[in-house]
Structure 1
């Protein structure tokens, strides 16, 4: 049964608003052609980042919001995503201050050159190329595909040698054969690459500021000041790197969190609105309807399978 929350926390992240570049450098492990890692939340990996490798990402436990390219969505345990090269991404869990979600994430990374060489030597592997190409938009898998993929990701983590590679290629086959109803493409067709360190630093600082303050008053002027930029400069870099205006992203993250609280607690709508930063119930209803297409009460009344997926802001 859903429980009413005395307090309704959002994500707390272990990172600084002035943390600078967020391009992730992926170390190569001698003797391994793919990289498998698992980590807690929060951790050094829990940040808005991008890298040249493909990434297959499993959330084992917890719930929260994710930001992939320009798409803000919700996740829960069993969430499986395929992220293409250079596509920014972050998963932000609902945690209380000081709480740690142990081994929340299981992650597989591999690069384009390696997969190209595999296909050249093993033509049977070419069936994965279409889904890998599409992953530059970001893909979330659901249904039976997500369940099969999660099992293969865990098998990759628990095996070694040729057994690990066997599970990896089985995982690629599962993703490549996913039916349309198990696929959600996330971003615009060609999400712009982050061009400069300053782009990334502005988006990282802005996102961190939003996450730390979105339940209260959020000011782009303050975010710009933390980034040591003028407001127009900050706004330009933030939009170019994140795909959103500052105001759009604040609203999206607030409404995504409200959707989870409506679905998982019995707290009054007004309490939830206040918890995600809307002190005025009428404004909360208006903003929620603008994003979701219905009121919070209407959303809560729907069976889970009928609740709409949050659309991207364009």
Structure 2
């Protein structure tokens, strides 16, 4: 077990957890930055977590839901305060109601994680600051120590897995709930470079093309809240054309961009295209050791629409575009 300390201090209203791991600090740090890895150990084995948002930057927000063996769900959130990669980060930690709102009936804590190198790998130290002795006692009574030990016991397997989350894996889809899809890909470039490649037309038209044989004659990006974008693609013999439009809902350069997306009705659209469905796309960029982790959470109107879109080969087309981004745009 990696957990080496679990200490409460009633006078300082703190709970301190220490754990040691046989991996470098950066490997352990990345496990907390990557929602795909984090959700494999954040909850105990009987209550695995699914992160629906993970903004690892000051001012960002993370949300997750832990699902129990009987199907019961328990939500939580992090409100990010500070981040000094790969040394420390802090956030406000709270609970969510069943409808996804902040639960004001349960306590919030201020948590600080620090990471330091050791002779055998790395050490993690988490200090939770409580508002009162009653809140500290309440969370300890809820089984926090047992849950922490079970959760921490899963980290070794995650950080030892160098294949599942490697950049060479390419674009990876993950179904979340009934209507969401999370697509993840490590891009070999900085967050600033990847952001520019998604919001500057002269860069986008060089890589955002999907399969060979298509061009992007219309590229009108948007990166300010309330602005609209329009993209159109056309095949080489001009027999097929399709496009998308939408509005920017959130923008936090160079880390987060949230937009709506609706397919345009254009002459010569590929067979099977559906112009009626509107999705919400949440793109998050997170610096990791091998580049930038790009995650896009797509929310569809229903499960049927998600299935139909996946059947078009969307993920394969995204991988072709991202590979072109690395080879043709990024240094």
Larger Rg: 2
Higher helix share: 1
- Per the TM superposition, whether the score is higher than 0.5 is no
TM-score normalised to structure 2 length: 0.28
Higher strand share: 2
Q: Which has the higher contact order (CA 8 A, sep 6+)?
A: 1
TM-score normalised to structure 1 length: 0.29
